[in-house]
Chains A and B, each alone.
Chain A
Amino acid sequence: MLAYLLRRVGYALPIMLGVSFLCFMLVHIAPGDPLVAILPADASADLQQQMMKLYGFDRSLPEQFIHWLWRALHGDLGTSIATSRPVAQEVFKAVGNTFMLAAMATLIGFFLGSLFGFVAGYFRNSWADRTASFISVIGVSVPHYWLGMVLVIVFSSQLMWLPATGAGPDGSGAWKWDLAHIQYMVLPAITMSFIPMGIVARTVRALVADILSQEFVIGLRARGLGELGVFKHVVKNCAPTALAVMGLQLGYLLGGSILIETVFAWPGTGFLLNQAIFQRDLPLLQGTILVLALFFVALNLVVDVLQTVFDPRIERA
């Protein structure tokens, strides 16, 4: 177990280094002088000199990378061009909102997806299976930013049941767990939950169908175990894989929430990225991407390790 853990971490570290390098290169693949890319257009010559020195653009690329990585490891992700505030501060303020939304969406998606998946897997080729499969196809192929717009049209603009945009009645990004705030989360969370729902439903359907066709299920039934008892065994056998899929989906949602956050003006990382794109704020873009991507790698690692802990049958090569 310990050997596996070490090997798995040992595999993740170079990936993290590579991911960091790619994020570092974002400023360099941008057209034009990287200095121009990270400075406001009206920067003074003094500031230019200062930034040149700070970023070390006069030095070689590997040297610059090590320098940049060293500062990033100390929590310094540079300064936002648009707001002149430290990027790290902006990202950590926003990342909580994104995480909350993504976690909520993952839970809803996991619950509904498991439900559809179990029904479809249990009653294969029935109308219930076809309906569930159809819903899961829609879940993975609907453009979620459009789904969000449609939900806003139906529930905000036509029925006027729920607020359309923002994360609270006062317009600040601060979140509270009360009814007034939760109302704002309903539509974006449901929109976002369609993606994990479709994928979880597909996975669970395949898992259930596979488990039900195994000999131990016939054995259980032959020994007179009731349908509920068999169901418990099926759930137990599905759980590790389904939970792993759920964990990874959380990561995908965190990284992919930008489009949904744009539709709902949700004050999270997606909103930051949108701002960074519009104002060509490359340090902000770079910092946000770096945090989200590293989080995704770390989440992958945790999911893999947990899966081995919960399901010791999995022999890792």
Chain B
Amino acid sequence: MSAVLNPPILTKPVQRSRSHGANVLRRLVRNPVAMTAAAVIALLVLVAILAPWIMPADPFATSMFKRLRPIGTPGFPLGTDELGRDMLSRLMLGGRLSLFMGIAPVLMAFVIGGGIGILAGYAGGRVNTVVMRCIDVLYAFPSVLLAIALSGALGAGITNALISLTVVFVPQIARIAESVTTQVRRSDYVDAARASGAPAFTIVRRHVLGNVVGPIFVYSTSLISVSMILASGLSFLGLGVKPPQPEWGLMLNTLRTAIYSQPWIAALPGALIFVTSVSFNMLADGLRSAMEVKS
């Protein structure tokens, strides 16, 4: 009798299936390209954070006698810039602002755009139409043009560049968030939750958020690469970071005068922007396939 009540199969510990997050992480770790990209990003971030302590020289100390020394000069492993400042130290410290200005706008747009999109998608009806038409107007600008229009009008500076870039990414993220949320809202389990009397707040928190944050996050990570290029581009145009603060885009701009005398030094800051941007792109691609979100 007891054997019937407790069949042997149930007395064994049931193997718990892994959570979705753990599965994604496992697939991501097994992707060599994504892991290489992640390692490069981790290294860049680490160097940027530790820059003040590991810089070999003062990145602000100018010297008229040591201008544009070639790569490999004793004491200046990566040469000096057009004002005689140590390139290696400036590149290390410059990573702080470049990475910050590339990542921060996407993070802010993730929160703001995601919020707007989820609300519009969940509300549906007239609210959705009004909100999404406003988003469409911002979306109607090519991103570079919108970023330049806003920071051109607001004026140079880090804060203004951050605001402009956030405004550029909000509509892109909001659109994705809205379409994912609309899909989820129409699903049977949301209907079931509503039928069982769950209040709107609970439905959004438990059923909607859990299912839409993933795709929105994956999409947002793919924007970091674009954001890095745009943020440095604004500084390159003189609209972002102001001298003498080191930042890769700004350094690329001021070193343009040196492309005939020390071309490879002039190209260095851009190479770092490139490496960072490619790494973020590949990590985002890896994350997307690990989460099995269709592009």
Contacts and interface: CB of A to CB of B under 8 A. Distances in A.
Interface of A: 14-15, 18-19, 21-23, 26-27, 29-31, 137-138, 140-147, 149-150, 152-153, 157-158, 206, 251-252, 254-256, 258-259, 262-263, 273-274, 276-278, 280, 282, 285-286, 289, 292-293, 296-297, 300
Given A15-B136, A252-B142, A293-B140, A145 B252 contact: yes
Nearest to B278: A141
Contact of A22 (B137, B229, B264): B137
A146 B252 contact: yes
Chain B interface size band reads: 35 or more
A142 B278 CA distance: 7
Interface of B: 133-134, 136-138, 140-145, 148-150, 152-155, 225, 228-229, 232-233, 236-239, 252, 256, 259-260, 263-264, 266-267, 270-271, 273-274, 277-278, 280-282, 285, 295
A23 B149 contact: yes
29 contacts: A15-B133, A18-B134, A18-B140, A19-B140, A22-B137, A22-B149, A31-B155, A141-B281, A143-B270, A143-B273, A144-B229, A145-B233, A145-B252, A149-B266, A149-B267, A149-B270, A152-B259, A157-B259, A157-B263, A254-B142, A256-B144, A258-B237, A259-B144, A262-B237, A273-B148, A277-B148, A277-B239, A280-B155, A293-B141
Contacts of A293: 140-142, 145, 149
Contacts, number: 143
Nearest to B255: A149
Contacts of A254: 142
A282 B263 contact: no
B278 A137 contact: yes
* Consensus secondary structure, chain A interface: helix
A157 B263 CA distance: 8
B142 A285 contact: no
A286 B154 CA distance: 12
Contacts of A292: 142, 145
A149 B259 contact: yes
A277 B237 CA distance: 8
A96 B71 CA distance: 42
B256 A157 contact: no
A61 to B, nearest CB: 16
A18 B152 CA distance: 19
B22 to A, nearest CB: 27
A109 to B, nearest CB: 15
A153 B142 contact: no
B275 to A, nearest CB: 10
Given A19-B140, A137-B282, A146-B273, A256 B145 contact: yes
Contact of A296 (B142, B271, B282): B142
Nearest to A254: B142
A149 B237 contact: no
Contacts of B136: 15, 18
Contacts of B260: 157
A18 B237 CA distance: 27
Nearest to B141: A293
B153 A27 contact: yes
Contact of A289 (B149, B273, B277, B282): B149
